Structure 1
Amino acid sequence: MAHSSQDGNYEADGEVGWSAIGDRLNSFQHFPCSEEISAERLARAGFYFTGEADKVRCFSCHATVEDWNRGDTPLKRHQQASPGCKFLSCAHGLRTSSLVLSSAYDEVAESREFLLRTGGVEDQTIYPTVPHMKSEEARLNTFRDWPANAPVQPDDLAAAGMYYCGTDDNVQCFSCGGFLGGWEQDDTAWDEHAKHFPNCFFILGHDAGNVPLTTPRPRLNGRIASVETFEGRLDSFRDRQHPIDPERLARAGFYSTGEQDRVFCFRCGGGLKDWTPEEDPWEEHAKHYPGCSFLLAEKGGQYVNHIQLRYPNGVHSRSSQNGFSSHEQAQKVRQSEIAQKAVDMGLDPIKVETTILQKLRQNHEGYASVEALIQDIRAQECASDVSERVEDPIMKLEKLQREKLCKVCMDSDISTVFIPCGHLVTCQKCSESLDKCPICCATITQKIKTYNA
């Protein structure tokens, strides 16, 4: 099983306590310039707050930076202060020779990422943590010195959003920034990524800016190249019995492994087993591997989003055991006696399944009685109700005010609606430079000015 970290393993010379991004982020609770610069952007750039004025320090190279102003870019200022920082070199791909970064990276993409994510907009376009690695081809090219004995192949890692950091078998996701290393036999890139970083927007199938290969990926591990074609995948089911029509499975990108009813997707490497006759291959593909480039190309993002909305809970909790998803575990949970009793008593089947799976993930044990399950479900519902009732009026007002602000400049009120998508995101001035909606990426054909009542 691959191990994970948010920042990987870097030399910190006694500052190991700040190597975790969560710890660095927590240090900014009393940061005096939180309105001018995002604490998350500072933490992602390797900084933690020293407690002195607005001075921050890198956990890896120990360089300090202060005197922050609105519009500053943490990564750029970090590199200016310490161009040889090992953390910048591996985590963000910044080398001494690349001091002048493209404006699309350090000024626009990173700034918009912060502004959009902190503006209260739902389902916005997500800008990747490492923009220069959003191309699958660029990620694949980093694996030239990948260890020959590593059990996971470069093409599978690149397809799963990972690129090689250049040390041992450590890789990083271009989208969420998560690190994986210590790969073992039977690990699969996609499942380990999803297991350790289940909230990664690339894994969840959102538009994270990924640019997939335009031609089929060469198989570096000796896998039969014919599975790249529909005919080849269909041929893999020859003389085998399967609960699902092999033609439907092959069209959905799956080929047979030759073991029972187990199948793999030729593109993303995601595996499924223990099928039932009523299941739809495309739907199962979208439920468990929504970021698969083949799936998105064939069915479209709207279809994948529709499936994800139908199954909002529990579908992304995957197990890497044998390289297959938790399809089998979730099915067993649904069919368990306790789950059936709870559903028969009128509880929401999705809440029942999700609560049981959470219990299994926490202590590897299920519920001993249906009463204990119901008690936990009721407790979750009560906690949710209480949090909604006790919302601070001042915080609620501030939230409403933020929702009215342009999500690009965060200064002027939103005043432009984009056609045909209908999203309200920016003020008139900021809308002038946009050709695509920053929420859904739809091409803007018309911009209509709106007026507050």
Structure 2
Amino acid sequence: MATPSKQKHDTAKPTPASLGISTMKPKFQQYALPSKRHESFTEASVPWPETSPVKVEDLVAAGLVNTGVGDSVRCYHCGGGLRNWETGDDPMEQHAKWYPTCQHVLITKGKTYIHCVEAGENHEHMSEQRSNSSSDNSASQQQQESMQAAAEFGYSEENIAIAASLFRERNVVSSKLRGSDLVSILMEMEDDPDLGLNVNVSESCSPTSPSNNADVEGDDLQNLVLENDRLKALYDCKICLDNRADVIFLPCGHIVSCPQCAPALDLCPVCRKSIMGLVKAQFANKRNYVDNDYGECDAL
């Protein structure tokens, strides 16, 4: 009887780094926190050169520490050194260029960023193009979100559209339409019914969902703002309280800190389990560069 032969798998088993997972510990753990790296520049016995063309904040964000020798710096994580900085240098980009396996760059920027740097992509140009191409869409999306928020207060589609048109008449074209501005105008219209007369309503000024008429009090808007602030705080890094918490601890899966603070932790602050790896979370509402099948960098 014939028996099946063992199949050979040509595809190599992916490594944690190839999956964007950081499993290595920093070589200089004492500089894992950004504040400690910053102190190496501001409180060093040999001051950082005032003529340096790169900002200290950018060097710190790139994981670099002042060595006290000229403009030489060293990464707290991989130990790689950089020096002879020139005008226009981006510390993070130079870090990724010369030390593409550094775990700090991997967890902070992601493996796709490293691939793009290796491919010689100009990130400032790419970001500018992406910003220009998406500015109109972003403004339109923000307007729709603001109008939907007003609709949740019970205002009619017609009044919301009139209020949006009034906002455009009162402000410059580049002004962003916020929900609080829209509700403020709607409350003005309640006090002065003639305010919305003879207003040319733009076709783009229409909420995407129907609503019922209801009275809105100032306290409701304040509660909405407070709730929005509370939800934003949930995503703040619990270490520095400044950056967004978007690093997943493995294996527990908790999201507690930002990429700058995560390497300083050995145990998860939530469950106290050992952190065996870190991976940067990519939220669905965030625009990111991704690798396509041809290894090129595309914008979502």
Larger Rg: 2
> What TM-score do the two structures reach when normalised by structure 2?
0.37
Relative contact order, CA 8 A, sep 6+: which one is greater?
Answer: 2
